């Protein structure tokens, strides 16, 4: 079997699957159950400073978006950082780490944006013998109104400043958790890197309101006739997270900076995609809250089986492999041509491909041939957009087939060149002259 042991910043774990800082990692009982189920590590739910207790709502804390089959697609959370006593958490962290020395145990932290506050809490965490800390610069609700969480993560200067404080006052590895509630994720990542962070983790949750109750006219979840924005997570945010991870992995200023990937990871395939885009570990929350801790068994076995099939011996064979293939639009090859093909043996004659193409695309799929309900691609009209592939309910019924070099594109009447030109030098590219110079 493939070796999926992880070594992230010198923090070793039996696999790269960690639980993210969230309700599932709020106490020793949960974390012990997670480790027994097979999770490689956890990020303990965010601790705050000693002082006035954090008070959560005693009512609904979650909102949701479901698919047609009631499958959870998006999850909204208005819960705050831990409301348990700081010293109780620290005691439990120390005991759990001693019970499970082979697992990664990171402690998430959020205190006011003052050096003394960070200087005070860091030695307390060090004493637990935890493997590292994660700076929570991402929480978009509750704490951000108090000048913490995403209120810090949205200001690169603050990110760099706090990271510098932490690197000065602790020997532990520092992971900086970034907020997606920002225009350009590279800017806080660069700031964290400049401050000396050992790694970044992303994404934290996205600011959201998932629904409005149309009887009470209040956002959901509703607390005594009022609602608020919360943090959105789950499978729906995975595409956003993948893009942001890739942006950091390929940015010249942060290239090589270790990344812990977070955002909608539900299966081993999701995890493999994050690893391929540069993540060294992955953090999971919503999937565990939906299906329980034992979902990690499928993730571990699935990743191992896939690596065996593909001949990947270790995680290093995967991490970052897709990054060189992520590019900007202007570098895509406009001489690469594909056409849709419909497998008539698989086609169930539902007509979704035809109506989608006819109404909203390029009128490239016939609906009736010689009086018979029949769907076929008109190659001279097909632009290869693959809308039909995405709306077809039958897997692999419609596929995109590249035209071979020398073959004529009947739509344009042009022959596909054997030597594909890069869009950088294409005469239709307005930047071609600039690129050439």
- CATH of residue 286's domain is 3.20.20.70
Shared domain check, 47 and 119: yes
Residue 105 covered by a domain: yes
Mean local confidence (pLDDT), 377-387: 94
Residue 340's DSSP bridge partners are 400
Out of 325, 359, 393, pick the residue that ends a domain: 325
User: What's CA 278's distance to the chain center, in Å?
Assistant: 12
Shared domain check, 141 and 161: yes
The confidence score (pLDDT) of residue 421 equals: 47
Mean local confidence (pLDDT), 5-34: 97
CA distance linking residue 379 with residue 285, whole number of Å: 45
Residue 1 covered by a domain: no
Mean local confidence (pLDDT), 191-202: 98
CATH value at residue 398: 3.30.70.20
**HEC profile for 110-136?**
CCCCCHHHHHHHHHHHHCCCCCEEEEE
The confidence score (pLDDT) of residue 428 equals: 47
Out of 303, 325, 347, pick the residue that ends a domain: 325
Number of domains in the chain: 2
* Across 37-41, 101-105, 263-267, 420-424, least confident range: 420-424
Is pLDDT at 433 greater than 60 in this prediction?
A: no
Shared domain check, 116 and 223: yes
Shared domain check, 85 and 73: yes
Shared domain check, 258 and 194: yes
Out of 279, 300, 325, pick the residue that ends a domain: 325
CA distance linking residue 223 with residue 176, whole number of Å: 32
Query: Which of 46, 57, 90, 55 lies closest to 204, judged by CA?
Result: 46
**HEC profile for 321-350?**
CCHHHCCCHHHCCCCCCEEEEECCCCCCCC
Sequence-separated contacts (24+) of 55-63 with Cβ below 8 Å: 55/80, 55/83, 56/80, 56/83, 57/223, 59/221, 59/223, 59/224, 60/220, 60/221, 60/222, 60/223, 61/221, 62/221, 63/209, 63/210, 63/211, 63/219, 63/220, 63/221, 63/230
Using an 8 Å Cβ cutoff, are 8 and 105 in contact?
no
The confidence score (pLDDT) of residue 419 equals: 54
Shared domain check, 89 and 139: yes
Count CB-CB contacts under 10 A for residue 165: 21
Residue 76 covered by a domain: yes
Q: What is the residue range of 411's domain?
A: 329-436
CA distance linking residue 235 with residue 243, whole number of Å: 14
CA distance linking residue 170 with residue 386, whole number of Å: 52
Q: What is the pLDDT of residues 47-66, one digit of tens each?
A: 998 877 887 888 788 888 89
Shared domain check, 203 and 155: yes
The SS3 assignment for 222 reads coil
CA distance linking residue 5 with residue 8, whole number of Å: 10
Residues designated as active site: 139
The confidence score (pLDDT) of residue 199 equals: 98
Shared domain check, 411 and 306: no
Shared domain check, 40 and 141: yes
Shared domain check, 210 and 348: no
Shared domain check, 424 and 316: no
CA distance linking residue 37 with residue 21, whole number of Å: 17
Shared domain check, 297 and 354: no
Q: How sure is the predictor about 83, in pLDDT bands with cuts at 50, 70 and 90?
A: confident
């Amino acid at each position: 079997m493939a070796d999926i042991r992880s070594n992230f910043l010198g923090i070793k774990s039996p696999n790269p699957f960690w639980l993210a800082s969230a309700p599932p990692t709020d106490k020793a009982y949960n974390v012990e159950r997670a480790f027994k189920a097979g999770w490689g590590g956890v990020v303990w739910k965010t601790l705050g400073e000693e002082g006035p207790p954090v008070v959560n709502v005693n009512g609904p804390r979650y909102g949701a978006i479901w698919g047609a089959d009631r499958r959870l697609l998006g999850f909204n959370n208005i819960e705050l950082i831990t409301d348990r006593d700081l010293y109780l958490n620290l005691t439990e962290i120390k005991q759990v780490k001693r019970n499970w020395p082979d697992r990664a145990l990171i402690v998430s932290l959020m205190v006011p944006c003052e050096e003394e506050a960070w200087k005070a809490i860091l030695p307390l965490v060090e004493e637990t013998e935890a493997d590292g800390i994660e700076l929570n610069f991402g929480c978009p609700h509750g704490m951000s109104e108090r000048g913490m969480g995403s209120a810090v993560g949205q200001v690169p200067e603050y990110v760099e400043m706090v990271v510098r404080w932490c690197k000065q006052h602790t020997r532990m590895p520092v992971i900086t958790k970034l907020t997606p509630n920002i225009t350009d994720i590279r800017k806080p990542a660069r700031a964290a890197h400049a401050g000396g962070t050992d790694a970044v983790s992303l994404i934290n949750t996205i600011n959201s309101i998932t629904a409005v109750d149309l009887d009470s006219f209040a956002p959901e979840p509703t607390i005594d006739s009022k609602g608020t924005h919360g943090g959105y997570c789950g499978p729906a945010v995975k595409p956003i997270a993948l893009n942001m991870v890739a942006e950091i992995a390929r940015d010249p200023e942060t290239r090589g900076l270790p990344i812990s990937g977070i955002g909608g990871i539900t299966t081993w395939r999701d995890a493999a995609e994050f690893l391929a885009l540069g993540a060294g570990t992955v953090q999971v929350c919503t999937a565990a809250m939906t299906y329980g801790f034992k979902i990690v068994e499928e993730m571990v076995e699935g990743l191992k089986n896939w690596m065996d099939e593909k001949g990947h011996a270790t995680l290093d064979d995967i991490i970052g492999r897709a990054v060189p293939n992520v590019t900007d639009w202007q570098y895509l090859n406009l001489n690469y041509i594909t056409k849709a093909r419909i497998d008539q043996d698989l086609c169930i004659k539902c007509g979704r491909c035809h109506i989608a193409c006819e109404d909203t695309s390029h009128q490239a799929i016939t609906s009736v041939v010689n009086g018979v309900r029949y769907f076929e691609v008109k190659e001279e009209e097909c632009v290869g957009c693959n809308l039909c592939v995405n709306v077809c309910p039958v897997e692999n019924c419609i596929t995109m087939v590249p035209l071979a070099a020398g073959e004529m594109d009947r739509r344009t009447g042009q022959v596909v060149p054997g030597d594909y030109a890069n869009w950088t030098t294409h005469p239709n590219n307005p930047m071609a002259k600039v690129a050439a110079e």
